[in-house]
Amino acid sequence: MIRSLKTGRFSLGYKLFTLANQALDGLRIRELAMQPMRQLMLHTHLTVHLAILERFEAILIAKIDPPGVSSLSTWIGRRMEVHCTGVGKALIAYLPDQDLDHFLGSRVFARHNDNTIVSPKRLRIELEAVRRNGYSIDDEEDEIGVRCLGAPVLTEDGQLLGAISIAGTVIQVNDENRRDLAARLIRTAAVIAMAMSEE
């Protein structure tokens, strides 16, 4: 809130407007993504997440679990680290160079286990692969036994809207099916981006 020196009245500040707009964008993408996410879950039988980036954290704004499968320890509203999660890597891979440099140079990355990437140099190489391949991989980096693939939701001009991911056990997401799963994930991200552009 900002108080006017002239009138003494309070008005909403720019930061609050920015936060409100982010919240509205998050609601819009969530609404438009639910059906494509449900289809992705039905085809893959994996948990599907949708996240947006806020202050270098991935915030989960939607989650769909396959029926009859024990749920992952994720929930709507959860803030997740971006260096070791599928949605997180998919989000930060498309940051402007200056923002990515700032992020990589100003953080000490938490190690969750021996697979977690904590080196800024190695993470940068990983993010280059995300941009090259169109999807990210969390290969038991956040949680042992869980593998996750993420894909950015991008506008035609490359603006980042959010990211989606599919997650399951290392048996469910493996070397044999990874490329097919990634292709389906990327197509779903494109469907969501198209729906956002038509709004």
The domain locations on the chain are 30-197
Look at residues 198, 192, 144 and name the one whose alpha carbon lies nearest to residue 165. Answer: 192
Listed in sequence order, the DSSP H helices in 106-177 are: 120-133
- Determine the pLDDT at residue 94: 95
Q: Which two tokens stand for residue 102?
A: 């700032």
Residue 156 makes CB contacts below 8 A (sequence gap 6+) with 193, 197
**Rounded mean pLDDT of 179-188?**
98
Q: What is the pLDDT of residues 130-168, one digit of tens each?
A: 999 999 999 999 999 999 999 999 999 999 999 999 999
The answer on pLDDT for 61 being more than 80 is yes
- Determine the pLDDT at residue 27: 81
The answer on pLDDT for 35 being more than 90 is yes
User: pTM for the full model?
Assistant: 0.86
Domain covering 30-197 assigned CATH 3.30.450.40 in the classification: yes
Choice between 191 and 2, residue whose per-residue pLDDT is larger = 191
**Rounded mean pLDDT of 109-114?**
97
The answer on pLDDT for 85 being more than 80 is yes
Angle formed at CA 88 by CA 83 and CA 92, multiple of 5 degrees: 85
The answer on pLDDT for 22 being more than 80 is no
